[in-house]
Structure 1
């Protein structure tokens, strides 16, 4: 899914550039965004019980800053955080509870299409960055705090609708991709085999505010 979205974003670039040449409405260079929403982890689950369902979904928050070189393209930075928690039996039969956070941070290349009136902006973005994982868990009678990080990829599509002057309301769909092949568990390094790889991939939908200026 991520590859298809990235490909669609890249294919759209020449169309955005062609469209932008004929429009004379003002185009702000700076954009600050903040959104909140809900996300669902895409990795394969070992079981369909409530524990695995609950740790696979939860609230998400993202914030970003972008600078546009011209009407249609720019660069920026993005931070997002996903949280989930759950308790129940593992496939081994042990009782477990988890409190998970997955964080992403990285540079973003963005494209933008501005409507003739200037009141609607359609945006897409692609990114490679840091993808971190932490789980403060209890398995049976013992704690099992685990953490790890890897290089992740992100692709997003969204739209901004002007509320008043420089303030916009926005909607955003983002897809993140990455896997952990090793992690620290209670301070000890653990190598994960092919069946144990921890998928950090997720799809996220959010709404929020954007401030575009300069």
Structure 2
């Protein structure tokens, strides 16, 4: 009788432990993506053909994205999480006439190393279709702009704004909690003020007024999801 009671208790403990493990299972998602990114918004003509083409080319870059999500509850289609998204562009041109931020001017080279970073809280709805998944996400956060620029001298141009980030993706199951598929994303934001640090302790806060810088962009890339 004691042996039967012991077996009964052990069986219930094992069942309860298994239920706890299953309850915790698949409650977290990690999304990693990368691809082509294109900045939206108008570019002002400078009257210089080389510079105009150079500025337009700065709109095309690389988009990287990393997100972590947690389910509201097991078997739910609703998730909440945090996202980091970035636009990266390094480019340069030689033999152009330059008007530098500090007022100096002359013939030389131009180089820009631009990083636009979004940090934000996100909501995601993800629905399973057979073994695949259709996901839509949206969130509000802070967009940070940084340009390590060379206009006859070295300058660092920074600024920030509140912005929106959203995307839709369709993911094909690879098994064992891995998914992969295309992702289309949109970011919306506007930069109205920047800070410029330059040579000789040059420092200036610039109000862009009607010439505000668009931080909006479209991302098209490949998403890898890891389901934990």
TM-score w.r.t. the length of structure 2 is: 0.74
5+ unaligned residues in a row in structure 1: which ranges?
1-26
Deviation for aligned residue 1:81: 1.2
Match of 2:77 among 72, 75, 81: 72
CA offsets per residue over residues 153-182 of structure 1, 9 Å max, x none? 111101121101211113211100111111
Deviation for aligned residue 1:142: 2.4
**Which residue matches 1:123?**
135
For the pair 1:53 / 2:59, whether they are aligned, the reply is no
CA offsets per residue over residues 96-151 of structure 1, 9 Å max, x none? 32111100110101111111x3x111010111101000011122x22232001110
Deviation for aligned residue 1:50: 2.5
1:52 is paired with a residue whose SS is: helix
5+ unaligned residues in a row in structure 2: which ranges?
1-24, 100-105, 198-202
Match of 2:181 among 145, 170, 173: 170
For the pair 1:185 / 2:188, whether they are aligned, the reply is no
**Which residue matches 1:132?**
144
Deviation for aligned residue 1:33: 1.1
Cα distance in 2 for residues equivalent to 1:43 and 1:199: 6
TM-score w.r.t. the length of structure 1 is: 0.78
Greater helix share, structure number: 2
CA offsets per residue over residues 26-85 of structure 1, 9 Å max, x none? x93211111111100001111383211221111111111011225321111110111112
Match of 2:86 among 81, 89, 96: 81
Match of 2:170 among 134, 148, 159: 159
Deviation for aligned residue 1:191: 1.2
Cα distance in 2 for residues equivalent to 1:69 and 1:163: 24
Cα distance in 1 for residues equivalent to 2:185 and 2:205: 31
* Aligned positions, number: 183
Cα distance in 1 for residues equivalent to 2:223 and 2:134: 15
Q: Is contact 1:46–1:91 with CA below 8 Å preserved after alignment?
A: no
For the pair 1:98 / 2:109, whether they are aligned, the reply is no
Structure number, greater radius of gyration = 2
Cα distance in 2 for residues equivalent to 1:52 and 1:175: 21
C-alpha RMSD of the superposition: 2.1
For the pair 1:206 / 2:206, whether they are aligned, the reply is no
